[in-house]
Amino acid sequence: MTSRPKTPLLDTVNTPDDLRKLGKDQLRQLSDELRAEMIDAVGQTGGHLGSGLGVVELTTAIHYVFNTPEDKLVWDVGHQCYPHKILTGRRDRIRTLRQGGGLSGFTKRAESEYDPFGAAHSSTSISAALGFAMANKMQNRPGRGIAVIGDGAMSAGMAYEAMNNAEQAGNRLVVILNDNDMSIAPPVGGLSAYLARMVSSSEYLGLRSMASRIARKMGRRVWGGLEKAEEYARGMVTGGTMFEELGFYYVGPIDGHNLDHLIPVLENVRDSEQGPVLIHVVTTKGKGYAPAENSADKYHGVAKFDVVTGEQKKSTGGPPAYQNVFGETLAKLANDDPRICAITAAMPSGTGVDKFAKAHPDKAFDVGIAEQHGVTFAAGLAAEGMRPFAAIYSTFLQRAYDQVVHDVAIQNLPVRFAIDRAGLVGADGCTHAGSFDITYLATLPNFVVMAAADEAELAHMTYTAAEYDDGPIAFRYPRGSGTGVAIPDQLEKLEIGKGRVVREGTKVAILSLGARLEEAKKAADQLEAKGLSTTVADMRFAKPLDTALIEKLMRSHEVVVTVEEGAIGGLGAHVLTFASDEGLTDAGLKVRTMRLPDIFQDQDDPDKQYDEAGLNAPHIVHTVLSALRHNSAGVEEARA
């Protein structure tokens, strides 16, 4: 489709203030136009589609009823926020989603006052909204905290930690549970909508409040008993007893696509003194777009696609994705080793564990969005003699760092960490970049930390990790496709802490860790063309270091450059520490470390991100020439 959808009503709405000028009878049309606009935009950019389609009516209703941005609206994860962005002054940029210099695919404080809290990891919304609510309450200012959290995010303990501390916020806090996948709701229809309106109405809450005051005069015991009786009676009819036990007034379930149901309930909650309130809303991912509704994953994340047919633009083939190399290799290893099992935290296809699970369904565990539990679960398996692989994105493993330290490293348990999405990740931006895992793991005693330069190395490292029982071991690999190298049938068990030299030279040594190896080779070619003989070493291990190789190269070369796809504190820092301790830099050796810059990089094409980071071949060449004070680097050659 080349022409944009017709959106005459949406064209009149730039901010929620404009939305609130509409009549309630116009909101259905507005929602339909909003859905069409979002589908068209994501068709051009790619991104998260199904989740946003599922909250079109809910987004419209929240902004219509509540006084945003004074009322702080926090979207959990934030991947469902595209309709929200369209309604909050960013429609003119919605077709720049996830592009360099464009809108983030998640909520972002720097983008808009309507994004009060940035999010891209799950289960943070209730804590943040509670913070907003309590800050306003303590400062005697108007304004609520409104958290919209999906049922999947309720699998993380942080959501319950927040709910357990929410009582003081009173009616300042509203939590909207968007139930779109887990089928935790009873059937939704006219009766449940009526009950939801009734129990949130001022008449019901007024009678409830009056009865509570009378019961208080009868004594604490009588009052407490009647209050519990009312709570459980309501719970039997509407559900939600668990939330009531956590101190919330439960309303629902209601149809999240029926504005005639949504608007009255939200208005009742807005005007009530009761709180905190949890509103249970049932929605459908991909709602209103047949290809998404009929897809198994409801078009959760999509490439650019044809809006008419729903057909996504496919890649032209090429090397396999790293995550699939891992999953398929692990599945083959498990054919001969009954101790191997795999754990993922709600990312089976993203980590390749789905491939393992297909072959070994009884040994694959998806623990939900619960990385902390997943890591300690793996530790327990390891302590009992299993060989667990915890396959978790680098950015998500950060959420379980205490468990990595306390439950794995200190006890020296042989948990295998398969760390996906290492390095920069393109359109997902800084919230999903795997920038820190080398630093936060290589600093820990007992850990072995590897980084794969290509898909063959990843296969070797998977086998090496499976065979390593002396303590925790991690191997990292990037997002996307491999380099095209063949994966050997016979896998190699790597010697722990030993790198490999992939080309020999005499003047410059490039020590590469991970997937920058191809750029290091290109840089070596360019340096050789300038008459600078260059060694390239694939270090393989950030910990333990191949100290023998490092010392040999430092004693025989004039310049040593380390290159890695990680933040400061990784390979370069460890190499410099070793060199300093051994006095290897005392005689004038030039050492330079190349790593990710000390910033959070915004989304862009990965090649452009690495250009911005200064980690492509031309940057390696420039670093070497500058160290040598070579004319080609724009620095006068040093005179004797």
The answer to whether 166 is annotated as binding is: no
Query: What is the secondary structure of 242-266 as a DSSP string?
Result: HHHHTTPEEEEEEETT-HHHHHHHH
SS (H, E, C) 305-358: ECCCCCCECCCCCCCCEHHHHHHHHHHHHHHHCCCEEEEECCCHHHHCHHHHHH
Q: How many CB atoms lie within 10 A of CB 451?
A: 33
| CA–CA dist 543, 476 (Å, integer) | 12
- Cα–Cα distance measured from residue 364 to residue 377, given in angstroms and rounded to the nearest whole number: 12
**Better-predicted residue by pLDDT, 114 or 633:** 114
Under 8 Å between Cβ of 250 and 184 = no
At residue 369 the predicted structure's pLDDT band, cuts being 50, 70 and 90, is very high
Q: What is the pLDDT of residues 64-92, one digit of tens each?
A: 999 999 999 999 999 999 999 999 999 99
Q: What is the pLDDT of residue 121?
A: 93
Average pLDDT over residues 380-409: 98
Choice among 286-295, 414-423, 571-580 with the minimum mean pLDDT: 286-295
- Give the dihedral of Cα atoms 66, 68, 71, 75; nearest 10 deg: 100
Strand-pairing partners, residue 418, are 391, 475
pLDDT beyond 80 at 189: no
pLDDT of residue 80: 95
Q: Is 121 annotated as belonging to a binding site?
A: yes
* Start-end of H helices in 447-570: 455-467, 517-529, 547-556
**Quick check: is 629 catalytic?**
no
User: In terms of pLDDT, which residue wins out, 544 or 187?
Assistant: 544
Entry pTM: 0.89
User: Has 507 been annotated as catalytic?
Assistant: no
CB 111 within 8 A of CB 126: no
pLDDT of residue 182: 45
The percent of the chain in helix, strand and coil, each rounded to the nearest 5, is 45, 15, 40
Average pLDDT over residues 196-219: 55
Please state, in angstroms and rounded to a whole number, the distance separating the CA atoms of residues 496 and 539. 11
pLDDT, greater one: 183 or 487 = 487
- Any binding-site annotation on 152? yes
Q: Which of 64-73, 236-245, 249-258 has the lowest mean pLDDT?
A: 236-245
Tell me whether residue 153 is annotated as binding: yes
Q: How many CA atoms lie within 13 A of 253 on its CB side?
A: 19
> Residue 594's beta-bridge partner residues?
563
The mean pLDDT value for 237-266 works out to 86
**Rounded-to-integer distance, Cα 257 and Cα 283, Å:** 6
Q: How far apart are CA 10 and CA 12, in angstroms?
A: 5
pLDDT of residue 198: 57
Confidence at residue 631, expressed as pLDDT on a 0 to 100 scale: 57
Indicate if 371 belongs to the active site: yes
| Rounded average pLDDT over 92-109 | 96
SS3 362: helix
301-302 and 47-48: which strand pairing? antiparallel
Which has more confidence, 214 or 536?
A: 536
Q: What percent of the chain has pLDDT over 70?
A: 88
pLDDT confidence tier of residue 242, bands split at 50, 70 and 90: confident
Residue 501's pLDDT band, with cuts at 50, 70 and 90, is very high
Whole-angstrom distance, CA of residue 108 vs CA of residue 89:
14
Of 68-77, 139-148, 197-206, 232-241, least confident by mean pLDDT is: 232-241
More confident residue, 12 or 238: 12
Q: Return the pLDDT at 204.
A: 56
- What percentage of the chain carries pLDDT values higher than 90? 80
What pLDDT is stored for residue 191 in this prediction?
Answer: 42
- Say if residue 289 carries a ligand binding annotation: yes
Contact 49, 301 (CB under 8 A): yes
Selecting among 91, 234, 287, 399, the annotated active-site residue is 399
Q: Is 574 annotated as a binding residue?
A: no
182, 187, 188, 190: CA torsion to nearest 10: 180
Q: Work out the pLDDT band at 617, boundaries 50, 70, 90.
A: very high
200-214, 482-496, 575-589: which range is least confident on average? 200-214
- Rounded to an integer, the average pLDDT of 282-287 is 92
Instruction: Indicate the residue type of 531.
Output: G
- To the question of whether residue 469 is assigned a binding role by annotation, the answer is no
Q: What's residue 632's pLDDT?
A: 59
122 annotated ligand binder? yes
pLDDT tens digits for range 533-546: 999 999 999 999 99
Asked whether the predicted pLDDT for residue 224 surpasses 90, the reply is no
More confident: 245 or 431: 431
- Mean pLDDT score of the chain, rounded to an integer? 90
Give Cα 409 distance to the centre of its chain.
24
- Report pLDDT digits (tens) over 575-585: 999 999 999 99
The yes-or-no verdict on residue 212 having pLDDT over 60 is no
Q: Is 156 one of the annotated binding-site residues?
A: no
Which of 191, 210, 188, 215 is closest to 274 using CA atoms?
A: 210
- Distances in Å between the alpha carbon of 84 and those of 55, 67, 259? 9, 14, 16
Q: Which of 244, 371, 457, 519 is catalytic?
A: 371
Is 318's pLDDT higher than 60?
yes
